C-alpha cells in the first residue's frame, strides 16, 4: 500500500473520504466540512444510526451527493483526551480493515482530534503506521481464489496541515514497520523454505544494504569455538546450524562513541521444532515453524535501528537450528558441554531453546561485553498458561531494565509482565551428574527456564529474558494491527526501548 501525506483539499477527488467524530457525536472540522459539501448527508445518517462517536464505531454514507468521493466514512474517536499514539495506530488499523472490506482502491484520511494531546503531524504519522501494519499480507503461496485475498486498498493519503512534520514523524515509524513486517515474513514462511542457512542468507541480504555488518558462523566454526549446547540441538537435523552476528554501529562516526559498548539482543531461532527424540504429539507440532520468532524479532529490530539510523551501537545474535529426531539426535540423559564450560544434563530434548540461548548468551558476552542483553524466545507453554496471549513474560536481573521494558510495552502495545527470578527455584534444575539439567519438572516451567538462562549471564551484567510464546503468533481471533498468523512481536518494543533510553 502506497502511503503519502498532503495538505487538506476542499474534498478528495475520489475514493473514500474518512473523517472523525468525538464521543457524543461531535463532528471534527473535516467532518463538518464533508457534511456541508454533501448537503447534510452525515447529519441525516447520524439521526438514523446508533453512532455516538465511541472508539471503534463507524458510520458509512455511500456515493454521497455533491462529492466525487465514493463514500464518506465517519470514525469514532472516543474521548479526545484519551487518544494517544497507541490509540491512533489502532484507529488507523481499524479504518484500513473496514476499507479493505468495502473494496475501495483509494482513501483519504482527514482526522483531527479537537483539544487532543497529540500534534497534527504525529497524528498523521501514527495513523499511517497503524494502516501499514494492518495492510500486511502473506499470500505468496496462494494460487487459487486470489481475488478473495487481493489487497484492494492500494493508495492512502493522509491529509494534514503540517506535511513536513508528518513526513518526519513517519520516517522513523516506517522503519519500525519495515522491521516488523520482515519479522512477520520470516515467521510465516514454511519450514521447508526457511531452514537455518536460508534464514541466515535472508538476514544478511536484508541488513547489509542498510549498513549492518553481518557474519554467519557455520557448524565447523562453532564446533571449534565450543558451542556444544547449540550444536547438540541441531545435530539430529540434515540442515546445518548457523549463528548470525549482526552489528549496527550508529553511536558515532569517530572517537569514543563509536567504541561504546553495544546494547545486545539475542534470539532463539529454532526453524522447526519437532521436539527431537522427545517427540511432540502431532497437534503440538503444528505451528512449530514459528519457534524462531525470537530470532525474527531480533532481525527485524536490527533492520528498524539501521533504517532509521539509530544513534546507538547494537548487536543482534541469533542461533538458528532445527530440532529433529535424526539418527544423530541428542538423547534424554545425554550431557552437553556449553560454550561457557558448564555441563548440561538433557532430560527432555524438547526443552531445546534454552540450550541454543545458553551458548548465544555466552558468545555475545565474551565477544562484545554489552551494556545489557535482552533475549527473546518462544520458550515455554507455561508462559501461555500464566499470561495468555496478551502479555509476554519478562524475567530480569536488573530492575531498571525491567521497568523500561514495561514502559515501552505500555507505549507500543507490546506489553510485558514481570515474573520472578529467585534462587529458591534453582533446586528444581539441579542435576545429579552435571552442573544443571534442562528441565525443572511440571511446575513453574517458565521460571525454571529463566533460572536456567540466568546461569549463563555474567554477574553484574544487566539482562532480561522475554518469553514470547503467547504473543509471537495467533491461531484464533486476529489482532487489528496484526492480520496474519505471525505478529512480528518485539520489534516495536525493542525499538522504543532503545529510542527512549540508549541513543547517544
The answer to whether residue 283 scores a pLDDT higher than 80 is yes
H/E element holding 101?
helix 85-102
Return the SS3 of 361: helix
Which pLDDT tens digit goes with each residue over 292-330? Answer: 999 999 999 999 999 999 999 999 999 999 999 999 999
What percent of the chain shows pLDDT beyond 70?
A: 99
User: Comparing 392 with 479, which gets the higher pLDDT?
Assistant: 392
The answer to whether residue 61 scores a pLDDT higher than 80 is yes
Q: Which residues contact 339 (CB under 8 A, 6 or more apart)?
A: 225, 226, 227, 228, 229, 230, 358, 359, 362, 363, 366
Q: Which long-range contacts (CB under 8 A, 24 or more apart) does 134-137 make?
A: 134/92, 134/93, 134/94, 134/96, 134/97, 134/480, 134/481, 134/483, 135/1, 135/96, 135/100, 136/181, 136/184, 136/482, 136/483, 136/484, 137/483, 137/484
Helix ranges restricted to H, 269-427? 282-285, 293-307, 353-368, 381-387, 399-412
Query: Out of 54, 257, 280, 311, which one is annotated catalytic?
Result: 280
Which pLDDT tens digit goes with each residue over 73-130? Answer: 999 999 999 999 999 999 999 999 999 999 999 999 999 998 888 999 999 999 999 9
Q: Catalytic residue at 354?
A: yes
Residue at grid coordinates 482527514: 110
The dihedral sign for the CA sequence 461, 467, 468, 469:
positive
C-alpha cell at 135: 495492510
Question: Mean of the pLDDT values across residues 203-227?
Answer: 98
C-alpha cell at 232: 547438540
Report in angstroms the alpha-carbon separations of 328 from 176, 237, 273, 437: 41, 8, 16, 21
C-alpha cell at 397: 536481573
- The answer to whether 429 and 436 are in contact (CB under 8 A) is yes
Domains of the chain: 2-162 (3.40.220.10), 175-501 (3.40.630.10)
The answer to whether residue 258 scores a pLDDT higher than 60 is no
Residue 433 confidence (pLDDT) = 98
Arithmetic mean of pLDDT over the chain: 96
Residue 257 confidence (pLDDT) = 53
Residue 256 confidence (pLDDT) = 52
Query: Out of 98, 354, 404, 492, which one is annotated catalytic?
Result: 354
CA atoms of 394 and 429, how far apart (whole Å) = 20
Which pLDDT tens digit goes with each residue over 260-281? Answer: 899 999 999 999 999 999 999 9
3-state secondary structure 178-219: HHHHHHHHHHHCCCCCCCHHHHHHHHHHHHHCCCCEEEEECH
Burial zone of 99 (CB within 10 Å; 0-12 exposed, 13-18 middle, 19+ buried): buried
- Split at pLDDT 50, 70, 90, the class of 504 is confident
Question: Mean of the pLDDT values across residues 10-32?
Answer: 96
Q: Which residues contact 187 (CB under 8 A, 6 or more apart)?
A: 289, 290, 292, 293, 296, 472, 473, 485, 486, 488
CA atoms of 125 and 174, how far apart (whole Å) = 9
C-alpha cell at 172: 522513523
Question: Mean of the pLDDT values across residues 484-503?
Answer: 98
Residue 478 confidence (pLDDT) = 78
Return the SS3 of 94: helix
- Split at pLDDT 50, 70, 90, the class of 288 is very high
Residue 111 confidence (pLDDT) = 97
CA atoms of 241 and 258, how far apart (whole Å) = 31
Q: Catalytic residue at 280?
A: yes
Residue 253 confidence (pLDDT) = 53
Residue at grid coordinates 548440561: 344
| Other Cβ atoms within 10 Å of 190 Cβ, number | 9
CA atoms of 455 and 322, how far apart (whole Å) = 24
Question: Mean of the pLDDT values across residues 434-458?
Answer: 97
Angle at 375 between CA 374 and CA 379, to 5 degrees: 145
Question: Mean of the pLDDT values across residues 385-413?
Answer: 98
Amino acid at each position: 500500500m502506497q502511503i503519502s501525506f498532503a495538505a487538506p483539499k476542499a474534498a478528495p477527488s475520489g475514493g473514500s473520504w474518512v473523517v472523525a467524530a468525538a464521543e457524543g457525536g461531535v463532528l471534527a472540522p473535516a467532518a463538518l466540512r464533508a457534511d456541508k459539501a454533501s448537503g447534510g448527508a452525515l447529519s441525516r445518517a447520524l439521526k438514523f444510526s446508533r453512532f455516538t462517536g465511541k472508539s471503534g464505531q463507524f458510520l458509512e454514507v455511500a456515493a454521497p451527493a455533491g462529492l466525487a468521493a465514493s463514500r464518506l466514512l465517519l470514525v469514532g474517536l472516543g474521548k479526545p483526551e484519551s487518544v494517544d499514539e497507541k490509540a491512533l495506530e489502532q484507529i488507523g488499523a481499524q479504518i484500513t480493515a473496514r476499507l479493505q472490506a468495502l473494496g475501495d482502491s483509494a482513501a483519504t484520511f482527514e482526522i483531527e482530534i479537537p483539544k487532543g494531546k497529540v500534534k497534527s503531524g504525529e497524528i498523521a504519522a501514527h495513523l499511517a503506521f497503524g494502516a501499514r501494519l494492518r495492510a500486511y499480507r502473506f499470500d505468496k503461496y496462494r494460487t487459487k481464489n486470489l481475488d478473495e485475498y487481493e489487497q484492494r486498498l492500494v493508495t492512502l493519503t493522509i491529509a494534514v496541515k503540517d506535511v513536513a512534520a508528518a513526513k518526519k514523524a513517519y520516517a522513523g515509524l516506517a522503519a519500525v514497520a519495515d522491521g516488523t513486517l520482515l519479522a512477520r515474513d520470516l515467521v510465516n514462511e514454511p519450514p521447508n523454505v526457511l531452514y537455518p542457512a536460508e534464514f541466515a542468507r535472508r538476514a544478511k541480504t536484508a541488513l547489509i544494504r542498510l549498513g549492518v555488518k553481518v557474519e554467519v558462523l557455520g557448524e565447523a566454526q562453532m564446533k571449534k569455538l565450543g558451542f556444544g549446547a547449540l550444536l547438540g540441538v541441531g545435530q539430529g537435523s540434515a540442515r546445518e546450524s548457523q549463528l548470525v552476528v549482526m552489528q549496527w554501529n550508529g553511536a558515532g562516526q569517530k572517537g569514543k562513541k563509536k567504541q561504546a559498548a553495544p546494547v545486545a539482543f539475542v534470539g532463539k531461532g529454532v526453524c522447526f521444532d519437532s521436539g527431537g527424540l522427545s517427540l511432540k504429539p502431532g497437534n503440538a507440532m503444528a505451528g512449530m515453524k514459528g519457534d524462531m520468532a525470537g530470532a525474527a524479532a531480533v532481525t527485524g529490530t536490527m533492520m528498524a535501528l539501521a533504517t532509521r539510523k539509530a544513534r546507538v551501537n547494537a548487536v543482534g545474535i541469533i542461533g538458528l537450528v532445527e530440532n529433529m529426531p535424526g539418527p544423530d539426535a541428542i538423547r534424554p540423559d545425554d550431557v552437553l558441554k556449553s560454550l561457557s564450560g558448564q555441563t548440561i544434563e538433557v532430560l527432555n530434548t524438547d526443552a531445546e531453546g534454552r540450550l541454543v540461548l545458553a551458548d548465544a548468551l555466552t558468545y555475545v558476552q565474551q565477544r562484545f561485553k554489552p551494556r545489557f542483553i535482552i533475549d527473546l524466545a518462544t520458550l515455554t507453554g507455561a508462559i501461555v498458561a500464566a499470561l495468555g496471549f496478551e502479555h509476554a513474560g519478562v524475567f530480569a536481573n536488573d530492575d531498571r531494565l525491567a521497568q523500561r521494558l514495561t514502559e515501552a510495552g505500555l507505549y507500543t502495545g507490546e506489553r510485558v509482565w514481570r515474573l520472578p527470578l529467585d534462587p529458591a527455584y534453582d533446586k528444581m534444575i539441579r542435576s545429579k551428574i552435571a552442573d544443571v539439567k534442562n528441565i525443572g519438572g511440571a511446575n513453574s516451567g517458565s521460571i525454571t527456564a529463566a533460572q536456567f538462562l540466568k546461569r549463563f549471564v555474567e554477574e553484574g551484567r544487566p539482562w532480561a529474558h522475554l518469553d514470547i510464546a503467547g504473543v509471537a503468533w495467533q491461531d484464533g481471533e486476529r489482532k487489528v494491527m496484526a492480520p496474519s498468523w505471525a505478529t512480528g512481536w518485539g520489534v516495536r518494543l525493542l525499538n522504543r526501548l532503545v529510542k527512549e533510553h540508549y541513543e547517544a
